[in-house]
């Protein structure tokens, strides 16, 4: 896990803005996500009630509005607007949205190829 602020990111005109922290030439997956109050993401999503949520690659979370706690391998990391959290491969992670000021965030993955939606269509 690595926690940054937006103003700590490198000024870049090539590649993607998280390149020093999120391996991969292109941002290839992600979304803008609106969380309701008190939501804990990925709860009981696995078989037999196992709610571990891990990836084989890095994932970035950019907090745009509201408050949230990132539960990462059991540790609670408070996040506010402007925070950027990089989750490393194999780290179990869940966002827990604030009850009074729920969060809006971006989640992003990078990889060696562009998202298929960016490729020329025949």
CATH number of 2-113: 2.60.120.10
122: pLDDT strictly greater than 90: no
Q: Please, are residues 68 and 97 in contact by the beta-carbon 8 Å criterion? A: yes
Q: Which of 62, 55, 59 is nearest to 24 (CA)?
A: 59
Q: Which of 107, 93, 98, 92 is nearest to 79 (CA)?
A: 98
Half-sphere exposure of 16 (CA within 13 A, CB side): 19
pLDDT 10s digits, 25-41: 999 999 999 999 999 99
Mean pLDDT of the chain, nearest integer: 92
């Amino acid at each position: 896990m690595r926690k940054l602020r937006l103003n700590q990111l490198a000024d870049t005109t090539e590649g993607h803005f998280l390149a020093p922290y999120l391996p991969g030439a292109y941002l290839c997956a992600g979304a803008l996500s609106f969380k309701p109050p008190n939501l804990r993401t990925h709860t009981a999503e696995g078989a037999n009630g196992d709610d571990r949520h891990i990836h084989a690659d890095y994932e970035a979370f950019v907090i745009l509005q509201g408050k949230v706690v990132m539960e990462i391998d059991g540790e609670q990391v408070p996040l506010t607007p402007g925070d950027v959290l990089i989750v490393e491969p194999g780290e179990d992670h869940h966002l827990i949205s604030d009850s009074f000021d729920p969060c809006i965030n971006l989640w992003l993955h990078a990889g060696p190829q562009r998202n298929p939606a960016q490729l020329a269509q025949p």
